[in-house]
Amino acid sequence: MRRQWTARVAAGCLLAVATLSGCAEKHEASTTLPSASSASGAELPPLGPADFPVPDEARTQDAAGAEAALRYYLALADHLDGQAGEPLRELSRDCSTCTFLADRNDQDAAAGYASEGGETTVRDMSRPAVDDTSAQFSFSVSQAAIVVRDSSGIPVPDRGSDMVPLLTGAAAMTWDSDLHAWLVTQLFFRQP
């Protein structure tokens, strides 16, 4: 997202994308996430940052909930610019890419770095293959150019990137009945 994962993460993820990829259906990207109001009337415990909570729509154990949860997770990585990465860890389990992104957020927050640009747009996403407590996706995104600046406003060498018009990706998620939420277990990107 805003952490320049495109170059470093993509190199190690080619095989996993091929393993998890499927047929993609074209969907228009949402410009906003659904509200956090509960559709079922049952109160769900808060999850995610207070200023960007996981929407209730992403907390249903079905294909629609899994898709909403993945879209939320991708948006969360953009949202956390300059903030610690704990929300990324909270919503993932044993996901090396997720850990990389969370660690990069922690490092940037500690160093006082901020990024400009880097917005990620979901271009396509397959309907998830859902099997009770697991979901698998293939998707594609584009990423705007990024400039990472230190606390004095000077660009940080080797941390920015040009616009990436297309990244293909794959993700796997698992349902956590205690949190009543989908957690990312695998997340991969590559440039075609």
Q: pLDDT digits over 64-73, tens only?
A: 999 999 999 9
DSSP label at residue 164: E
Q: Give me the residue spans of the domains in the chain.
A: 5-35+52-190
* pLDDT tens, residue by residue, 58-111: 999 999 999 999 999 999 998 887 789 999 999 999 999 999 999 999 999 999
d(CA 63, CA 158): 39
DSSP label at residue 144: -
d(CA 127, CA 139): 9
Please state the separation of Cα 89 from the chain's center in Å.
11
Task: Please tell me whether residue 126 adopts helix, strand or coil conformation.
Answer: coil
- pLDDT at 4 exceeding the cut of 90: no
187 touches 16 (CB < 8 A): no
- Give the rounded percent of residues in the chain with a pLDDT score beyond 70: 78
- Give the rounded percent of residues in the chain with a pLDDT score beyond 90: 67
Q: Does domain 5-35+52-190 have CATH number 3.40.50.150?
A: no
Once rounded to an integer, what is the mean pLDDT over residues 133-151?
95
